[in-house]
Amino acid sequence: MYSRLKLVSLTANVEMTQKIAELLGVEVMPSQVLHFADGEILFEGKKSFRGDNVYIVQSTCAPVTERLMEVLLCIDACKRASAKSITCIMPYFGYCRQDRKAKPRQPISAKLVADLLTTAGADRVVCTDLHASQIQGFFNIPVDDVSAMPIFYRYISEKKLDDIVCVSPDHGGVVRTSKLAEKLNAPLAIIDKRRPKPNQAELIGIVGDVKDKNCVIVDDIVDTAGTLCLAANELKKLGAKGVYAVISHGILSKDAISKIQASGIDELIITDSIPLPEEKKIDKIKVLSLAPLFAKIIAALEDGASFSDTLERFARQQYHK
C-alpha cells in the first residue's frame, strides 16, 4: 500500500519503530549504525532510498550527542541517496529545555539543534510534547508538536478514579494541566516552586484543595524525579488519598528510580518516547506506547490527508473509548 514509504530505525526507538511498521503493514528498512574505535559514527542503508519518502524514528535521548549525530548522518545519507522527502519522527527532542538564554553567555541549544537538522536536509520534524511550543519557530521547515494527552486521558479514565484533581507542577504547566482537567471534568491545583539551579527545586506551597483527592500530576519531563517526589510527598502530607503522575518523557536519570520507589507516588505513567531499560522497570511505572499515534501520522502524510484532522480523529477515539 505504501510502496514509497521507507521506515528507518536508529538506536533509540527500535521497539517503537517495529510497532509502527506492524501497524502500517510495512517493513523496517534494513540499515546499521556503526561506531569506529575513536567514537565516530557511520550510518549505512542496505537498500535504495531513491525517490522514497523516508521516515527516521529517533529520540535524541541519552547518550544525547550520539543519538543526535546518528540522526544527522542518517539524514545526510538519505539526502545523498536521492530520497524524495525526509521526515524525522523525534518522540523526544533533546536540548528542548534550553530554549532561551536564562542567563548571560548561555546558548540557545534548541535553536542550534533545529539549524543542524535543517542544514542536514530534513524536510519535516514531528515531536511529542515539546518543552516549549515556541521551539517550532526555531525551524524553517514544517514542525508538528503532537500531544500525548489523549493517550493519558484514556488510561486515567479507565482506572475509574473518583475525586480527581489535576495538579500542575509549576505555574508554567497550567495550560498543559488544564487540558487534561477539562477532559476529566476535574478541578486544578498548582504547585508553587522555585528552581535555584538545574535539577534542583524548592517547594514553596500548593494552591488548591487536595485533601481526600486522587491527585494527577501532569508534566512533560521527569529527569532526576527530585521535584516530582517532593511534590508527591507533600500532596500525601496534605491528605491526598492517591498520587498519580502522567509525564510524556521519562528521562529518569541518576537515582530517579530509587526516589520514585521510596516516594508517595502511587503510579508514574510515561510514554515510550524514551525507552525504559529493564533495570529501571518497577511496578510503580506504567509505559504507554506512542506507536499508534505515529502510525496514524505517517499514514496521513503518505495519503496527503489533513494533519490536524488526523490528530483530532485520534483524540476522539481515545476520549470516547
Nearby residues of 160 by Cβ (< 8 Å), 6 or more positions away: none
Residue 213 DSSP code: -
| Amino acid letter for position 203 | L
Q: At what angle do helices 64-80 and 109-120 cross, to 10 degrees?
A: 20
Give the closest residue to 43 by CA, choosing from 81, 95, 93, 94.
81
**CA-based torsion, 160, 320, 15, 254: positive or negative:** negative
CA–CA separation, 223 and 199 (whole Å): 8
> Of 217, 237, 215, which Cα lies nearest the Cα of 168?
217
254 assigned to active site: no
137/139 Cα distance (integer angstroms): 5
CA dist., res. 18 & res. 24, Å (int): 10
Closest Cα to residue 67, out of 45, 98, 88? 88
d(CA 287, CA 259): 18
Given the residues 19, 84, 111, 193, the one annotated as active site: 193
Taking the C-alpha atoms of residue 51 and residue 126, their distance in angstroms, rounded to an integer, is: 21
- 3-state SS assignment for residue 277: coil
Name the nearest CA neighbour of 189 among 170, 207, 214, 211.
207
**Positions marked active-site:** 193
